[in-house]
Every structure is written in structure tokens, then in C-alpha cells.
Amino acid sequence: MPDQDAPVHPHHLSSSTPERLTQRSDARRNIQKLLDAAAALFVTSGVEVPVREIALKAGVGMGTMYRHFPTRADLIVAVYRHQVEACVEAGPALLAESSTPFVALQSWIYLFVDFLTTKHGLAAALQSDRPSFDALHNYFLERLVPVCEQLLDAARQADEMHSDIQALELMWGVGSLCINTTKELQIDARRLVSLLLTGLR
Amino acid sequence: MPDQDAPVHPHHLSSSTPERLTQRSDARRNIQKLLDAAAALFVTSGVEVPVREIALKAGVGMGTMYRHFPTRADLIVAVYRHQVEACVEAGPALLAESSTPFVALQSWIYLFVDFLTTKHGLAAALQSDRPSFDALHNYFLERLVPVCEQLLDAARQADEMHSDIQALELMWGVGSLCINTTKELQIDARRLVSLLLTGLR
Amino acid sequence: MPDQDAPVHPHHLSSSTPERLTQRSDARRNIQKLLDAAAALFVTSGVEVPVREIALKAGVGMGTMYRHFPTRADLIVAVYRHQVEACVEAGPALLAESSTPFVALQSWIYLFVDFLTTKHGLAAALQSDRPSFDALHNYFLERLVPVCEQLLDAARQADEMHSDIQALELMWGVGSLCINTTKELQIDARRLVSLLLTGLR
Amino acid sequence: MPDQDAPVHPHHLSSSTPERLTQRSDARRNIQKLLDAAAALFVTSGVEVPVREIALKAGVGMGTMYRHFPTRADLIVAVYRHQVEACVEAGPALLAESSTPFVALQSWIYLFVDFLTTKHGLAAALQSDRPSFDALHNYFLERLVPVCEQLLDAARQADEMHSDIQALELMWGVGSLCINTTKELQIDARRLVSLLLTGLR
DNA sequence: AATGAATGAGCTTTCATTCAT
DNA sequence: AATGAATGAAAGCTCATTCAT
């Protein structure tokens, strides 16, 4: 996976080929510094943290930031790309190793919940309708929905569930339940999600 | 309920007596214009719409806006007060007229869903942790959580459900599922909520 | 002195006849309420206190306030009229009873200092060049400068001082030294003024 | 003194080393434009002039203003830094070259008076108790009071004065006498100050 | 390619003054 | 004569985005 952490440009969202065969080493270094800074700040201040703070922490100029990540979504996608891809790959793996397809689905959904709930503000950003978040939104759905679909189909074929829910719908619901569960009001997203899963059966 | 649509002042949140017996007609008219403008803009632009826009659309000055609704939350609460109170009153009524307590709970939750999903941005605002939304948040929880609690208890006593979920948790989950379901991506909040309810049984 | 506490209109500044022979009793009552409220607020918040606060404390409407005291200066003048007049009258009295004219001058100046330093913000307002303070400024100078002049002349005639300072200049200087001496930085206006007086000899 | 006119950051107030060795020429130009605009507006409208007006006159955006001068006091200090420092340096020089310490003190005080009286509103700002002026206030006192103290001590040691006045007190008094003497009412601050100085002897 | 200075629209809030009631 | 609601022009400050260097 040679392009991991590379800047994400819209038309490359579903591509896995490197966008440029050569790249100046300082550019590559700056990109990494930005990703590291963003990852750290997303944790402490959420994904809506001012871009200037990210550039500052990365020790690069604003222009550099914009050159590599034209929109905030590009940066968010790049920061979480690894983990999303790990989630994508976990789908078939879980299906293979779990006792039943529905158990695999459950495990996979909890994986996703754990991912979202540890990223302050990410679940909300995923559902934002602000144009600058479109790329984020698209990327997540494009990668994860097919996996979820596969798991749902398997569960249905095994007669473990009869709900006709769509994968997109389920992912959306799970994402929603993960919003704002890091705040003072301690809501346990897993509990709510488990209700949803129980309801699927 | 003589004070409907009256400006909301903190200490009157749970009172149902009119704060003033007389009020200048132009003031009352302006309050109504503000409520109408706010209601309309909340639908199109969400509850975060700039106060200036609200004042502009209402055709009143900034000062008038602040006189009647010192904080944004005051305005939001006033705009939705009717419907929240209707929801509050519907709880016992549904309990009385439904075949079983769990059916009453379901109906009541759907009522709440219908309310939220027709108000673009309201569900999100309800979960915002920004200080200016505290009053909104508090108002909703204070009014609705006890009703939900009553319905949950009744359903448990009737042995219709065994989940030990808290009313606050359930309301929060339902609220979450109603976020952003008015957007292009057509997600059916009712379907998701029905899964949650099924999961409760 | 029948017009004490009456609203001050510019063309009446130096008149001592009542401006109107009849006045509705409620009007007179409101004027008094305003003067009382203003006097109290001037002490705690300075003479720049928002007019709305004064009206509020007086329990009258804004319009009433503006009817009786068109400018802030009018109100200030009315509030302090008594004390200014007392100061005016003290001049000749001190001259009569003091051992020497210069001693009388000293005592009179200290009287003025005591007056100013106990009125938070008054000394500054006296020197403000904002148009709404003109009346205040004029009133004080018109009433007090002639008295000061008289004392200065007497001291000069008694050969107790040879400085050719003008009364206006001296009053201004004394007023200046009384500005901001109520703040944290504890400056003793009397000490500074005493230097000035020593310098006069 | 290579940093003259450089933006003032709090921790550099008493430093004389340049904060950055290089600076973009446009930035330097903008800083100068801001200082020029501020100096001009301070004269005509006082140091309370709205920041927006300063930015406008300088022909720069609001953000530029805030970048270089985060608080109003920073700007005021920067505008007057030169002259304050000149005053600081004049103290020992005058002491060395004057016939007697008291004469040096007099000359130095007149220097300060000339400075203040040519800056409309500065003397008043110096005594303002509004938080945004604290830095200004502190800067002036920190720099000038020690110089004044030195001169006072010298005069006392030479037996030229016996008043036990504090340097801060004297400076404050002189500053007060310089307030508002640029207005229509032509008050001669030097004459008033000379009385004060005479009183010191 | 990188920098970071500059931009300026945008936000909330205050308050002297006016004027409909 | 009295009321107090309405006005709206300020103000300070923030921050995503652009672009001169």
C-alpha cells in the first residue's frame, strides 16, 4: 500500500495507486509532520480544530498545509485512512473466523464503534453536510458500506436476521449513536449500538 | 396556556403562568415575528443561523432580538416550546389509551422522532456541548426524560421489556438517530429507531 | 432657593427662578426619583453609568428621564447643584472668618477637593470634551470661577501671593489633580494640591 | 537600537534586543503604516480611537493589526516607545549637565510635560483604569518612575528640597495636570506644573 | 516548494437615543 | 406626561483562505 499517508485529492479517493511517482523528500516530510500534528490535535481538540493550529504544531506554513490538503476533509481522511482500511480488511477476516456471520457482523460493528468513539468529533464530522466535508463522507461510505453489505448478506443467508435494513442505513445509525458520547453526559455508545444489533435479529 | 410563544426567561422555564399580564401590542408582534423568522431559518439554515439574519428576516433591530431573547437558547426553546409541551402531555395520554405500555412507549418515541426529524439541525443542537446551548439541552431533558421514564417503568412492570436502559440514554440514542436525516442522503430515522425499540424487548 | 433639584435646561443655568410655576406632582416626584437614583449610581459606578440603569433604579421610563434631563450633563449638574452652591456660598464666608485671605483660599480649595474626590468620575467628566458634557463644564466654571477669583484677588491684595495665576487655571489644575485618585493606585490628591498651593505663595 | 518601532510583545517590554532578526519587508511596512496611522489618529481622536479606524487608515486588514499588536496597549506603547526612552535617557544626562540637581529635575519634568501635552489623550489614557490600558500604564511607570526617583533623591541630598513626595506621586500629579490641556480652553500645563515644582522646594 | 503575513467578512453584544403606544 | 420597546451603529475579536515573498 504505497500511498498511505499521501495527500488525498478528490479524484484519487478510491484509487490505491500512488499519485506521483516522485516527490521531493521535504514535501513528504512535511506531509508526515502535518499528519502527526493533525492526529494529535484531533484527539485533544476534535476534528474542527483551527487549521492554523495544525500548521503551527506541524511547524509548517499555512500554504504548505493547503498545498497538500486543500480541504479539511482531505486531512481527516488522510489521518484516519489507516484505520479505515484496517476496518475494511477486518470484515472478511471476521467472517472467516467467527462462529456465525451475525457474530462477525456484531464484532465488526463494535470495531467501528471503538474507532469512532475514540475520535473526538469524527462521528459528527462524518455526518456534516458542509461541502468541505463531502470528501470525508464519501470516502468512509465508499470503503465501509460494501464491507458491511457483505456481512449483512452473509447473516441473511444464514437466516440469522430478517431485517431488510440497508448497509448504508445501518452504518449511518451506528455513526449517529457514536456522536457526542465523549462529553460530560456519559452515554455508552456500545450499549445503544447493542440494542440496535439486537433489534436486527 | 396563555403564554404560548412568550419569550422564555430562565426562571419561567417550567412555569405556565404568563410573565406579564399586559404587553405592548407591538412588542408582542415583534416577538411573534422573531419566532416566525427563527422557525423558518432554523429549518433552512439550522439553529446555528446568525442572530443578525434572524433579526433581519423578522424585520426588527438587533436590540429587539436581545431584549426578548437574551441568548440563542432562549429563542430556540421558545420556538419549540409548543411541540415539546405537546410531547410531554402526550406521554400519560398514550399510556392511558394504548393497548399495552410498550405500545405507548413506541408511539411516544415515534412522536418525538417526528418532531425532531422535521426540524433541521435541532437534534444536533440538542447534543451540542457549546455553552450557549445548555439551556436548550436542559429544557428538553428536564421536560422529556421524566415522561420517558414513566413509560419505561410501566413497560417494565408489565413485563414487556427487560432491558435496564435509562430514559436519558434512550432519549439520547433516539435523538442521535434523528440527526442529519433530513439531508440528501435519505436515511429513515423511524426505521433505525424501530430497530432500537425492537432491541428493547 | 426654590428651584433646587429642578431639571436644568441650558438657558436656566445661571437663573435662580423656577422654570415653571406649576408642575404636575407626579413629574416632580419622578424628577426626585431620578436625582436620587443618579446620585446613588454616580457613587458606585461613576457619572458614566449607563442611562438605562439610572432610569431602571429610579423606576421610571427612559422617556421620562430624557424629558427631564435631555443630556447626561443636565442630570449631573442637577445632582451636584446643592454641593456646588454650598461651595459658592462658602467662599465669602471663609474670607470673612479666616485669619488671612490666603488661608481662606486654601480652605476653600480643600473644600472643592473633598467634593471632587468623593465623586467617582466627576473630576474627569468635568474635563471631558464630549459635547454632552459641555453644560456640566459650563455650570461648574460659571459658578465657581468667580468665587475663586475673589479669593485670589483678596490674597493678592493682602500681599500673600504674587503668582499671577488665573482663577480658571487654578480650578482646572486642582480638578485635574483630583482625577482618578479613587483608584487602586492610592494617590493623595490633597497632598498634590497642597504642593500647588505652596507654589502659589 | 535596532528594534525601534517593532511590535511590542509583553515579554519584550524591557528588552532592547530585536525579537526577530529577519522580517518580511511587507510586514515591516505594515507595522510602520500601523504605527503612523495610530500616531496620527491618537492625536486627532485620542488613544481610544476604534481599532478598525486605525486599520482602515493604515490600509491594512483587521487581522494584520491584531497580528502585530494584539492589544491596544501594545500599539500605544509602540507608538510612544521612542519618546519614553528618550525621556528615560535624558534623566541622568540632565543630572550631569545641570547646575544643580533641582534644576535637572525641573528640566526633566518639563521634558515630560512637553511630551504629554503634544499627545492628545495620552495623559488621560495613562490614568485610565480599564484593563486594556494596564500595559501602557505599567510601561510608563516602570520606565519613568525610577528616573524621577533618582532625580528626587539627588535634589534631596543637595538639600534643595525637603518635600517627602514620592516619585510616583509626582509623576502622577504632573500627568494629571497635562490632561486635556490641548482643548479649546487654553490651559497652560507648564504654568501649573511650575507651581507644583515651586511647591516642592 | 515553502512560508506565514494579509485579508476581511463574520460573529456577538452594548447602549444612547427615538418614538409608538 | 409617562412608558419602555425599538433602533442600529458601533465595538472587539476570530479564522478560513489567499497570495506576495
Q: Is A188 on the interface with B (CB under 8 A)?
A: yes
Chain E bases near protein Cβ (<7 Å): 1-21
Which residue of chain C is at minimal alpha-carbon distance from D46?
C129
Mean pLDDT of chain D: 85
CB D173 within 8 A of CB C177: yes
On the question of pLDDT at B40 being above 80, the answer is: yes
Would you say residue B198 has pLDDT above 50?
yes
pLDDT of residue D184: 67
Task: Give the largest Cα separation in chain B, rounded.
Answer: 56
Query: Which residue do the cell numbers 479524484 mark?
Result: A11
pLDDT in tens, C97-143: 999 999 999 999 999 999 998 888 888 888 877 777 888 888 999 99
Residue C80's pLDDT is what? 94
φ/ψ region of D187 (left if φ > 0, alpha if ψ in -120 to 50, else beta) reads beta
- Distance in Å, alpha carbon of A198 to nearest chain B alpha carbon: 5
* A48 contacts: CB under 8 Å, gap ≥ 6: A121, A125
* In the predicted structure, residue C179 carries a pLDDT above the cut 70: yes
Q: Is B46 on the interface with A (CB under 8 A)?
A: no
Chain A nearest CA to B59, separation (Å)? 28
Is B52 at the interface with chain A, CB within 8 A? no
Chain A environment of B197 (Cβ under 8 Å): 199
Q: Is A184 exposed, middle or buried (0-12, 13-18, 19+ CB in 10 A)?
A: exposed
**What's the CA gap between D91 and D144, in Å, rounded?**
9
> Does pLDDT of A182 surpass 60?
no
The one-letter amino acid code at C66 reads Y
Minimal Cα–Cα distance from C167 to chain D, Å?
Answer: 11
Does the C73-200 domain belong in CATH 3.30.70.2860? no
The string of DSSP codes covering D147-184 is HHHHHHHHHHHTTS------HHHHHHHHHHHTTTTTSS
Give the pLDDT band of residue B27 (cuts 50, 70, 90).
confident
Residues above pLDDT 70, as percent of chain A? 86
How many CB pairs below 8 A link A and B?
77
Query: Whose grid coordinates read 460530560?
Result: A184
Give me the residue label for grid cell 403562568.
B17
> Taking the domains of chain B in order of start, what are their residue ranges?
10-72, 80-200
D199 chain-C contacts, CB cut-off 8 A? 194-200
> What is the structure's pLDDT at C191?
94
D92 contact partners, CB below 8 Å, separation of at least 6: D147, D150
Here the contacts of B55-59 (C-beta below 8 Å, separation 24 or greater) are B58/B30, B58/B33, B58/B34, B59/B33
Report the phi/psi class of residue B121: left, alpha or beta, with left for phi > 0 and alpha for psi in -120 to 50. Answer: left
Which chain D residue's Cα is nearest to C193? D196
> How close B195 gets to chain A, by Cα (Å)?
5
Average pLDDT across chain B, whole number: 84
Residue where the block lists cell 486654601: C106
Q: What is the pLDDT of residues C2-46, one digit of tens each?
A: 344 455 444 443 333 344 545 667 888 999 999 999 999 998 888
The C1' atom of F6 and the CA atom of C61 lie apart, in whole Å, by 14
Closest residue of C to D180, CA-based?
A: C127
Q: Are D101 and D158 in contact (CB under 8 A)?
A: yes
Window 19-38 of chain D: CB closer than 7 A to strand E:
24, 26-27, 29-30
In terms of pLDDT, which residue wins out, C57 or B20? Answer: C57
Given a contact cutoff of 8 angstroms between Cβ atoms, the answer to whether C143 and C85 are in contact is: yes
User: Mutating which of C120, C180, C184, C188 best tests the D interface, going by the most D Cβ atoms within 10 A?
Assistant: C180
- Nearest Cβ partner for B199 among A172, A179, A196: A196
**C131-166 pLDDT tens trace:** 778 888 889 999 999 999 999 999 999 999 989 999
Residue B63 is predicted with a pLDDT of 92
What mean pLDDT comes out for the span D119-132?
A: 79
Determine the protein residue whose CA lies at the shortest distance from the C1' of F10: D50
Identify the chains in contact with C, defined as 3+ C-beta pairs within 8 A.
D
A182 touches strand E (CB under 7 A): no
Please report, rounded to whole angstroms, the spatial distance between the CA atom of protein residue B99 and the C1' atom of nucleotide F13.
59
Opening angle at CA A110, ends A104 and A114, nearest 5: 145
In chain A, what is the straight-line distance between the N-terminal and C-terminal CA atoms, in Å?
A: 37
**pLDDT at residue A133 greater than cutoff 50:** yes
> Which pLDDT belongs to residue B135?
82
Give yes or no for D130 touching C (CB within 8 A): no
B172, B187, B197: residue with CB nearest A172: B187
Strand E closer than 7 Å to the CB of C130?
no
Judge contact between C69 and C2, C-beta under 8 A.
no
Q: Which of C128, C168, C177 sits opposite D173 (nearest CB)?
A: C177
Name the band, by pLDDT with cuts 50, 70 and 90, for residue A10.
Answer: very low
How high is the pLDDT of residue B91? 96
Contact A196, B177 (CB under 8 A): no
| Cβ(C83)–Cβ(C89) below 8 Å | no
CA–CA distance, C62 with C71 (Å, rounded to integer): 12
A192/B contact by beta carbon, under 8 A: yes
> Which CATH number, 3.90.230.10, 3.20.20.210, 1.10.10.60, 1.10.260.40, labels domain A10-72?
1.10.10.60
D43-60: average pLDDT? 90
Question: How wide is the angle at C-alpha C38 spanned by C-alphas C119 and C107, nearest 5°?
Answer: 30
Nearest chain B residue to A173 by CA distance is B177
Please give the average per-residue pLDDT across A174-195, as a whole number: 84
Cα angle: A54, vertex A56, A58; to 5 degrees: 70
Spell out the residues 6+ positions from residue B40 whose beta carbon is closer than 8 angstroms to its own: B57
* pLDDT > 70? residue D5: no
The whole-number average pLDDT for the span D110-135 is 84
Contact A147, A91 (CB under 8 A): yes
Residue nearest to nucleotide E7 (CA to C1'): D61
The one-letter amino acid at A42 = F
Q: Which amino acid type is present at position A197?
A: L
D9/C166 Cα distance (integer angstroms) = 45
What is the average pLDDT value for chain A, to the nearest integer? 86
Residue D137's pLDDT is 86
CATH 1.10.10 fits C10-70, yes or no: yes
Of C128, C129, C173, the CB nearest to D192: C173
Q: Is D183 on the interface with C (CB under 8 A)?
A: yes
- Give the start-end residues of each E strand in C20-166: none
**Model confidence pLDDT, tens digit, residues B86-128:** 999 999 999 999 999 999 999 999 999 999 988 877 887 888 7
Contact at CB, B192 and A180, closer than 8 angstroms: no
- A142 CA: distance to closest CA in chain B (Å): 14
C-beta neighbour count of C115 within 10 angstroms: 18
Q: How confident is the model at residue C181 (pLDDT cuts 50, 70, 90)?
A: low
Q: In Å, how far are C16, C90, C129, D76, D136 from C138, measured between CA atoms?
A: 16, 20, 11, 32, 32
Rounded Cα distance between B31 and B33, Å, is 5
Q: Which residue is nearest to nucleotide E12 (CA to C1')?
A: B51
In this predicted structure, the answer to whether residue B44 has a pLDDT above a threshold of 90 is no
If one counts every other C-beta atom within 10 angstroms of the C-beta of residue C69, the result is 24
Question: Residues 39-98 of chain B: which lie with beta carbon within 7 Å of strand E?
Answer: 50-53, 62-63, 66, 71-72
Q: Which residue does chain C place closest to D168, by CA atoms?
A: C187
What whole-number distance in Å separates Cα of residue D138 and Cα of residue D114? Answer: 20
List, in sequence order, every beta strand (DSSP E) within chain A.
Answer: none
Fold of A80-200: Tetracycline Repressor; domain 2 (1.10.357)
Return the higher-pLDDT residue of B50 and A130: B50
